[in-house]
Amino acid sequence: MITVRNATKKDAGAIAQVYVDSWRESYAGMIPDWVLLGMSYRRLAKAWDRAIRTAGKDEAILVAESEGAGIVGMGSCGPTRDAKLAYGGEVYTLYVHPNHVGQGVGSLLLKALFAKLESIGKPSACVWALAQNPSRHFYKAQGGVIAATRQGRQWGVSIHEVAYAWEELTLAADPTRKDEPSTGF
């Protein structure tokens, strides 16, 4: 059973593990190797600890926890950071540990993030994903539609991103599905 709940400071190390392992698995060949290899569990645990402690009232950091396996996924959300998009909320991060991909963890996290956004008065949302990342199709499978693209440079390479969006978050959570999260928030 997977439980989705608000992250606490004690979760920072496990969140860092999910984050680093997911990046290394998902972004190999898209982001320079030196960036992926330079990621540090300890440094990112400190960064996630700080993020958890300083999250604003309109922001959330959630974890997906599995009995026996511990934290297997994480996600964060809040108000949209791109004023050009007409969506009130944004999913900032959503990562599932590579050993738990394809088990419904991402769907549970996304629905819980949507519920958080709705609870702060954000009935629509978007998420940015690398255009080269095959995992971005997850968002389409969850009902997201391509709403925008952007091109930038980071780490000395060109980064092309695609925004998936949901006009009404209440419609994004299909009540007939059996994979609703158990929430602890």
Token pair listed for 76: 């964060």
Task: Tell me the domain boundaries of the chain.
Answer: 2-172
- Residue among 73, 84, 27 at smallest CA distance from 181: 73
170-182 pLDDT tens trace: 877 554 444 444 3
Task: For domain 2-172, give the CATH number.
Answer: 3.40.630.30
SS3 124: coil
pLDDT at 174: 52
For residues 37 and 155, the model is more confident at: 37
pTM of this structure: 0.90
**CA 50 to mean position of chain CA atoms:** 17
The answer, yes or no, to whether residue 183 has pLDDT greater than 50, is no
SS3 116: helix
pLDDT at 83: 85
| Distance (Å, whole) CA 20 – CA 92 | 16
pLDDT at 185: 35
Cα angle at 135 between 111 and 2, to 5 degrees? 40
Location of structure tokens 């996600």: 75
22-73 pLDDT tens trace: 999 999 988 999 999 999 999 999 999 999 999 999 999 999 999 989 999 9
| Distance (Å, whole) CA 82 – CA 54 | 21
Query: Please, are residues 92 and 170 in contact by the beta-carbon 8 Å criterion?
Result: no
pLDDT at 167: 94
Mean pLDDT score of the chain: 90
pLDDT at 157: 83
Token pair listed for 17: 């593990």
pLDDT at 152: 87
For 67, half-sphere exposure in the C-beta direction (CA atoms, 13 angstrom radius) is: 2
144 band by pLDDT with thresholds 50, 70 and 90: very high
- Across 54-64, b (16+ Cβ under 10 Å) vs e yields eeeeebbbbbb
